[in-house]
Structure 1
Amino acid sequence: MSRSARGRDKGGPKPGQYPVRFGTAELLADADRPNAWLISVDGVAQSYVDLDDPTNLEFDYVRRLGDVVDCLPTGPLDALHVGGAGCTLARYVAATRPGSRQLVFDADGPLIDLVREQLELRSVPRLKVRIEGGREGVRSRRDASADLVVLDAFERASFAGGLASLEFIADVGRVLRGAGVLLANVTDGPGLPFVRRFLATVAEVFPQVVLLAEPGVLRGRRFGNLVVAAAKVELPVDVLTRRAASSAYPARCVAGTDVEKLRGKAAPIRDGEEIAVPQPPEDLLGLF
């Protein structure tokens, strides 16, 4: 019997439902892979974790996040993650860039406890998790102390409030080193009103901005995930374009003047402003 099969039978992850801070989490086994697991909260998929192969990035948007990580200068990274859940990307960084130091901020303590107990989170090298909101966590970090900051924090299927404002993005810019990169997973629907404003916000701090998304989502035809990469130095647009086009879930890479055209006259988001956070259609909730 394999280690994975023994784990399911005895001391390994236990499929089922678990109460967490923001709802009810469900842990589901992947029938096609012996030790891979899906975490959802109130029916909304949060993370896919392959305990046998942390480089297996099942969600298409996570694969795009991984593509950007792969294009960063070689060697270990000092990374901050705002939003953890299964810590899929943090596991990927630990596996592909040994020696990386990573810190995750997540406000849902019971969910992180579930991942610690059921999905071997303590075994990830040099990874620490703090039960803390992203804004407070980033504010506590020193200037120029990170190579990578990842924003992937959702409440139900909506981007967590307060993480899209100019004030917060400026604080991310403070924490990043000169060649550091901001990565954000956001969602939007027809017309991309939220993404346009988010791009305008990020562009106030970072002169180089790239957007990666499935063509139908990018054209505003359907609701879905979009990945934003931003930096103060040039990003590897050509490499990202090739990777996105050749992916199992082909995507487009938008940069330069095309990003400027997309955001148009959209204004940056500021603290205290009421803004409609994108909500997916009810029939799509289980996909995000």
Structure 2
Amino acid sequence: MAREKEPLPGRYPVTFGEVELMRDLDRPDGWMLSVDGVPQSYVDLADPSYLEFSYVQLIAAVADCLPPGPLDAVHVGGGACTVPRYLSAGRPGSRHIVVEPDEGLVQLVRDQLRLKSVPRLKVRIADGRAATAALPDRSADLFVLDAFTGATMPIDLATAEYMAQVARVLRPAGTLVVNVADGRGLAFAKRVIATVGEVFGHVALLGEPGILRGRRFGNLVIAASAAELPTGPLTRKAAGGLTQARCMWGEDLAKFIAGARPIHDGDAVLSPVPPPAVFG
């Protein structure tokens, strides 16, 4: 059997700029993709169950609490396809649609990070909003929204109108998972939570205590569904993981976001930019 090509570290031009592919000196098969100095994706090519970033661990925690068996999943924001690799390893037979607008980045991941080894995965080179609108009704069990332009979330993927499209694509018991980044005061994150809550009947928030208190810039993970969420298992899994995160829902979450207005198309909203020290 031919040996798989070893990735080659370095800087690579992609459609929307340049990315750097770096080897993890602590893990022989670990690789990091960085965009403009911002760590964007991490994969261990030998062990897809290994998740380096704490927010990805929380996304995986939500997926792990779903009923057993393969999933039909949509991923808006491709990167190195860390979550599809994780789900395919843990839930054989899962099918993935990955939406990524940067064709050059997708080709780099194909060439260097063995994307072809992920079964039942299709990549669509498209804008997240347009690609979601083209998906069939009730076709997904899991919808992962992890889309960033550099270090900021595109506002057109944070509106109630877009969330309604996501709800259309999900099956009645399907789950949305959103990665959102914010800092002091969490004003933007609270508005995104309010937006999701306007569309979905059940919402939970997972995050590290320091980020939830607004003490430092970081990532929070929102889970939402038209059906009841497994908040008990989610709470235990989040608290027992490497991140030791909290899970908030119901009255506690309502108090947390009190006064936050949902985001709608056309609203003048700025996605927060992390301070330079975050990635310094």
What is the SS of the residue equivalent to 2:199? Answer: coil
Q: Is 1:159 aligned to residue 153 of structure 2?
A: yes
Equivalent positions of 1:1-288 (< 5 A) are 11-285=5-279
What is the SS of the residue equivalent to 1:170? Answer: helix
- Equivalent pair of 1:157/1:285 in contact (CA under 8 Å): no
Q: Distance in 2 between matches of 1:273 and 1:249?
A: 34
Q: Distance in 1 between matches of 2:167 and 2:239?
A: 29
Q: Distance in 2 between matches of 1:256 and 1:161?
A: 25
- TM-score, with normalisation over the residues of structure 2? 0.97
What is the SS of the residue equivalent to 1:177? Answer: strand
Deviations 1:61-108 (A, max 9, x none): 100100110110111111000000100001111111111111000011
What fraction of aligned residue pairs are identical, expressed as a percent? 56
What is the SS of the residue equivalent to 1:64? Answer: helix
- Segments of 5+ residues of structure 1 without an aligned counterpart are none
Q: Distance in 2 between matches of 1:239 and 1:49?
A: 26
- Equivalent pair of 1:22/1:155 in contact (CA under 8 Å): no
Name the aligned partner's letter for residue 100 of structure 2. Answer: D
- Equivalent pair of 2:155/2:270 in contact (CA under 8 Å): no
- TM-score, with normalisation over the residues of structure 1? 0.95
Deviations 1:136-176 (A, max 9, x none): 11100111111011000101100123100000000000110
- Cα-Cα RMSD: 1.2
Name the aligned partner's letter for residue 39 of structure 1. Answer: L
What is the SS of the residue equivalent to 1:117? Answer: helix
- Segments of 5+ residues of structure 2 without an aligned counterpart are none
